[in-house]
Amino acid sequence: MKFAKLIILGALVLGIVLPCYAEKIVVEGSTTVLPIAQKAAEVYMDRNPGDNISVRGGGSGVGIASLLDKNCNIAASSRPIKDTELDKAVTNGVDATANIVAMDGLAVIVNPQNQVSKLSKKQVKDIFMGVISNWSQLGGSNEKIVVVSRDTSSGTFEAFLTLVLEGNKTRADALMQASNQAVATTVSGTPGAIGYVGLGFISPSVKAIEINGVIPSKDTVVSGKYPVTRPLFMYTDGKPQGLAKGYIDFILSDEGQKLVEEEGFVGLKDKK
């Protein structure tokens, strides 16, 4: 009996001394939001050593499915939740709540050697649908267009499908990639390639082109001039609580929004 009392007393002492060590959350989903989620988690955990924030990608659809199955605490998504997902949320007893953490522009990128630097949104649509198949049709060299797209579990794919393709299918021979970085890498290493990525994935290894005469950038997204923009989300089950609330509040703080900017995206305060 004395031994049992000692165990209980020890557990109570540990509970008083180390309450924060039980705080752990999982963030899962969008590869677009991933750099923001990872950087914010690193800084937050440096400030709060007792907290554990695990961040992983997989795509917006994967993250939302995980939240609805109660396998993660936060679903990172680069698209709004779908009606079918909301139906599943109701069935599973999940109150899928949107928290907008940043803004983004979908940049259309080409291989750096490509002579074409400007396209209309209609021309981009025709390229990805297969109506236009050679760069010579657009004033470029006589070279086959290689379409590089995100896979169907991606929120970036869903946003592009809505904002550019207007619900039409991507051509059948498109090279489907699992992440923004994979799209950028494929475009940079493939002559004649064209793809699309979030602003944070533009680099010297690819060439971002003007759409309707406007180059994708923080300033053009803020001004509303760039025609392909979208919010970035973190979905939670109801209003964020505990560590999830502290983490999302940090991302929405001045310091967190500065991290958003440093990762190449657009802070919410700039959009106001």
Across 39-174, the runs of DSSP E, i.e. the strands, are 52-58, 74-77, 96-110, 118-119, 146-150
Question: Which 3 state secondary structure label does DSSP give 8?
Answer: helix
233, containing H or E segment: strand 229-237
Q: Would you state the pLDDT for residue 263?
A: 94
Q: Would you state the pLDDT for residue 243?
A: 97
**Full pLDDT tens readout for the chain, 272 residues:** 444 444 444 444 444 444 445 589 999 999 999 999 999 999 999 999 999 999 999 999 999 999 999 999 999 999 999 999 999 999 999 999 999 999 999 999 999 999 999 999 999 999 999 999 999 999 999 999 999 999 988 999 999 999 999 999 999 999 999 999 999 999 999 999 999 999 999 999 999 999 999 999 999 999 999 999 999 999 999 999 999 999 999 999 999 999 999 999 999 976 55
Q: Would you state the pLDDT for residue 271?
A: 56
Distance CA 192, CA 199 (A): 21
Q: Would you state the pLDDT for residue 20?
A: 41
Distance CA 209, CA 119 (A): 7
Distance CA 111, CA 92 (A): 45
Query: Quick check: 109 and 184 in contact, CB under 8 A?
Result: yes
Residue pointed to by tokens 């082109």? 209
Which DSSP string corresponds to 204-218? TTSEE-EETTB--SH
Tokens of 108: 């259309």
Q: Would you state the pLDDT for residue 6?
A: 41
Q: Would you state the pLDDT for residue 7?
A: 40
- Domains defined for the chain, CATH in brackets: 23-103+231-271 (3.40.190.10), 105-229 (3.40.190.10)
Q: Would you state the pLDDT for residue 153?
A: 86
Q: Are strands 210-211 and 146-150 parallel, antiparallel or unpaired?
A: unpaired
Query: Quick check: 234 and 248 in contact, CB under 8 A?
Result: yes
**Amino acid at the residue 262:** E
Query: Quick check: 195 and 154 in contact, CB under 8 A?
Result: no
Q: How many CB atoms lie within 10 A of CB 125?
A: 18
Q: Would you state the pLDDT for residue 23?
A: 87
